[in-house]
Structure 1
Amino acid sequence: MKYRHLGNSGLEVSEIGLGANSFGMPGRRDRPESEAIVHSAIDHGINFIDTSNVYASGLSEEYIGHALKGRRDEMLIGTKFGSMRRQGPNNFGGSRNFVMRSVEESLSRLQTDYIDVYMIHRPDPRMPIEETLRALDDLVRDGKVRYTAGCNFEAWRLVNAEWTNRKNGFVGLTSSQFAYSMMTRAAEEEMIPACRELGLSVVPYLPLAAGMLSGKVNASGSAPEGTRLSIETGMGDRWITPRNIELVGLLDGWARERGHSVLELAFAWLLAEPIVATVIAGASSPEQIATNAAAAEWVLSADERAEVTAILDANPPDGAGDYYSAAGYFREETQEAPR
Structure 2
Amino acid sequence: MEYRHIANSDLKVSALSLGTATFGGGNDFYRAWGETDLAQARRLVDIALDAGVNMFDTADAYSKGLSEEILGQAIQGRRDRVVISSKGGLRMGTAPDDVGATRKHLVEACDASLRRLGVETIDLYHLHGFDMLTPLEETLSALDELVRAGKVRHVGCSNYSGWHLMKALALAGEHKWPRYVCHQVYYSLLARDFEWELMPLALDQQVSTVVWSPLSAGLLSGKVGRGQAAPEGSRVASLGARAMFIPQEQFFDLVDLLRSLAEAYARPVSHIALNWLLRRPTVASLVIGARNEAQLLENLTASDFKLNAQDVARLDEASAREPAYPYWHQRSVYKERNPAPV
Sort the TM-score into its range (normalised by shorter chain): 0.7 to 0.9
What does residue 71 of structure 1 align with? 78
Distance in 1 of aligned mates of 2:247 and 2:207: 33
What does residue 184 of structure 1 align with? 191
The letter for the 2-side match of 1:125 is M
What does residue 337 of structure 2 align with? none
Quote the offset at 1:242 in angstroms.
Answer: 5.0
Distance in 1 of aligned mates of 2:135 and 2:188: 31
Distance in 2 of aligned mates of 1:55 and 1:276: 24
The letter for the 2-side match of 1:148 is V
Q: Sort the Cα spacing of 1:149 and 1:220 in 2 relative to 1 into closer, same or farther, 3 A.
A: same
2:131 equivalent among 90, 113, 124? 124
Quote the offset at 1:279 in angstroms.
Answer: 0.4
What does residue 13 of structure 1 align with? 13
Give the SS at the match of 2:56: strand
Distance in 1 of aligned mates of 2:78 and 2:102: 33
What does residue 337 of structure 1 align with? none
Distance in 2 of aligned mates of 1:18 and 1:201: 17
What does residue 299 of structure 1 align with? 306
Question: What RMSD, in angstroms, separates the aligned Cα atoms of the two structures?
Answer: 1.9
Query: What are structure 2's unaligned runs of at least 5 residues?
Result: 323-342
1:97 aligns with 2:104: yes
Give the SS at the match of 2:24: coil
Distance in 2 of aligned mates of 1:14 and 1:249: 30
Query: What are structure 1's unaligned runs of at least 5 residues?
Result: 318-339
The letter for the 1-side match of 2:48 is A
- TM-score w.r.t. the length of structure 1 is 0.88
The letter for the 1-side match of 2:147 is V
Between stretches 190-199 and 237-246, larger displacement belongs to 237-246
1:37 aligns with 2:57: no
Quote the offset at 1:226 in angstroms.
Answer: 3.2
Distance in 1 of aligned mates of 2:216 and 2:244: 12
Instruction: Give CA deviations for 1:10-66 in whole Å, capped at 9, x if unaligned.
Output: 210000011111111154222222221122111111111111101011100000011
Is the 1:212–1:240 contact (alpha carbons within 8 Å) kept by the matching residues of 2? no
Give the SS at the match of 1:216: coil
Instruction: Give CA deviations for 1:229-254 in whole Å, capped at 9, x if unaligned.
Output: 12223548989945423321222213
Distance in 2 of aligned mates of 1:163 and 1:252: 44
The letter for the 2-side match of 1:2 is E
Is the 2:60–2:87 contact (alpha carbons within 8 Å) kept by the matching residues of 1? yes
Distance in 2 of aligned mates of 1:236 and 1:203: 17
Give the SS at the match of 1:297: coil
Q: Sort the Cα spacing of 1:301 and 1:265 in 2 relative to 1 into closer, same or farther, 3 A.
A: same
Quote the offset at 1:74 in angstroms.
Answer: 1.4
Structure with higher RCO (Cα < 8 A, 6+ apart)? 1
What does residue 3 of structure 2 align with? 3
2:229 equivalent among 197, 204, 222? 222
Distance in 2 of aligned mates of 1:156 and 1:120: 15
Distance in 2 of aligned mates of 1:8 and 1:173: 10
User: Which runs of structure 2 are paired with 1:1-339 in the superposition (5 Å)?
Assistant: 1-25=1-25, 27=31, 28=34, 29-217=36-224, 219-233=226-240, 235=242, 241=248, 243-313=250-320, 316=321
Is the 1:52–1:81 contact (alpha carbons within 8 Å) kept by the matching residues of 2? yes
Give the SS at the match of 2:305: coil
Between stretches 284-293 and 79-88, larger displacement belongs to 284-293
The letter for the 2-side match of 1:175 is C
Give the SS at the match of 2:181: strand
Is the 1:123–1:129 contact (alpha carbons within 8 Å) kept by the matching residues of 2? no
Quote the offset at 1:150 in angstroms.
Answer: 0.7
The letter for the 1-side match of 2:255 is V
Distance in 2 of aligned mates of 1:234 and 1:222: 11
Extract structure 1 runs of 4+ deviating beyond 6 A: 236-240
How many residue pairs match? The answer is 315
Is the 2:184–2:210 contact (alpha carbons within 8 Å) kept by the matching residues of 1? yes
Quote the offset at 1:289 in angstroms.
Answer: 1.9
Is the 1:209–1:239 contact (alpha carbons within 8 Å) kept by the matching residues of 2? no
The letter for the 2-side match of 1:260 is R
What does residue 323 of structure 1 align with? none
What does residue 332 of structure 2 align with? none
Identity across aligned pairs (percent)?
Answer: 35
Q: Sort the Cα spacing of 1:92 and 1:80 in 2 relative to 1 into closer, same or farther, 3 A.
A: same
Distance in 1 of aligned mates of 2:164 and 2:281: 23
Instruction: Give CA deviations for 1:43-96 in whole Å, capped at 9, x if unaligned.
Output: 111111111101011100000011011111111110011001112211100000
Between stretches 177-186 and 232-241, larger displacement belongs to 232-241
The letter for the 1-side match of 2:305 is W
Instruction: Give CA deviations for 1:90-137 in whole Å, capped at 9, x if unaligned.
Output: 110000000110011000000111101000001110021111111111
